[in-house]
Amino acid sequence: MRPFQLVGHVVLELLATVGRVVLFAGAGLGHCVRPPFYFRSLGRQLIEIGYYSLPVVGLTAIFTGMVLALQSYTGFSRFSAEGAVANVVVVSITRELGPVLAGLMVAGRIGASMAAEIGTMRVTEQIDALTTLSTNPMKLMVAPRLVAGLTMLPLLVIVADIIGVFGGYLVAVYKLGFNPANYLQGTFDALQAEDVVSGLVKASVFGLIVSLMGCYHGYTSRGGAQGVGAATTNAVVSSAILILCFDYILTELFFSR
């Protein structure tokens, strides 16, 4: 193929995929607000995302907070600005690292398992079987996952924010010799409602992205075990890229005024 043709082909394919994802998202979200609702299925997803992701997200958060304190201390000491450590930790965690890292971890954990579960149901015709048993698979399988992603990720990020800031505190106080009271004072002075809220909004969007990619790739997978494997990979990779992409877009919306 000639280069122009190739580029044109890739661009068209990309646009077509974006169109399909947007239609899928619209259909899925539509089913979130129209009965019947499957509360059992929703409950399972809420627990799966909100509760079972806690260890992964918590561990990520504590090490991130610790490393932030350490890095910003060694960096800022060159300008004798060590006092800014608390500030840097709080702002970076709440605005940026809390939601992004939680989003990426959940993409690996939840996005992959959604794609694998729904993909397996697709290739073994269980999705078709649902339709023949008077059950809309979009309602039973997709809608609860979208709702759970949208609502549970902000909760996870609140926890991640707290643990991350605490991690920074541990390193600052026990390793770098900060005065605990002063450090805490610095932390609370730096804490801004705007930062936290923007982080939580980001978290909601990232949660939706993870669920959407997991469901979409699972739902559209084909061709047996290999197809399910590809769906899983695609779900994780596409959510990771979209998370980073939307992170920039949302930051631009919130803070560039």
Partner 1 sequence: MSERPAKIRIRNLRKSFGRKVVLDGLDLDMGIGESLVVIGGSGTGKSVLLKCVLGLLRPDAGSISIDGVEVVGASSAARDAINRKFGMLFQGGALFDSLPVWENVAFGLLATGRLRRREARAAAMAKLAQVGLGSDVAGLHPAELSGGMQKRVALARAIAADPEIIFFDEPTTGLDPIMADVINDLIVAITRDAGVSALSITHDMASARKIANRIAMLYQGKIIWAGPVADIDSSGDERVDQFIHGRADGPIKMAIRA
Binding site for partner 1 (CB under 8 A): 36, 121, 124-126, 128-129, 131-136
Q: How far is the CB of 125 from partner 1 (least distance, A)?
A: 4
Q: Which is nearer to partner 1, 131 or 179 (CB)?
A: 131
Indicate the residue among 135 and 251 with the shorter CB distance to partner 1.
Answer: 135
Give me the least distance between CB of 217 and partner 1, in Å please. 19
Q: Which is nearer to partner 1, 80 or 132 (CB)?
A: 132
Q: How far is the CB of 172 from partner 1 (least distance, A)?
A: 47
Three-state SS annotation for the chain = CCHHHHHHHHHHHHHHHHHHHHHHHHHHHHHHHCCCCCHHHHHHHHHHHHHCCHHHHHHHHHHHHHHHHHHHHHHHHHHCCHHHHHHHHHHHHHHHHHHHHHHHHHHHHHHHHHHHHHHHHHHCCHHHHHHHCCCCHHHHHHHHHHHHHHHHHHHHHHHHHHHHHHHHHHHHHHHCCCCHHHHHHHHHHHCCHHHHHHHHHHHHHHHHHHHHHHHHHHHCCCCHHHHHHHHHHHHHHHHHHHHHHHHHHHHHHHHCC
Give the shortest CB-138-to-partner 1 separation in angstroms. 10
Given the complex with partner 1, which of 140 and 176 has the nearer CB atom? Answer: 140
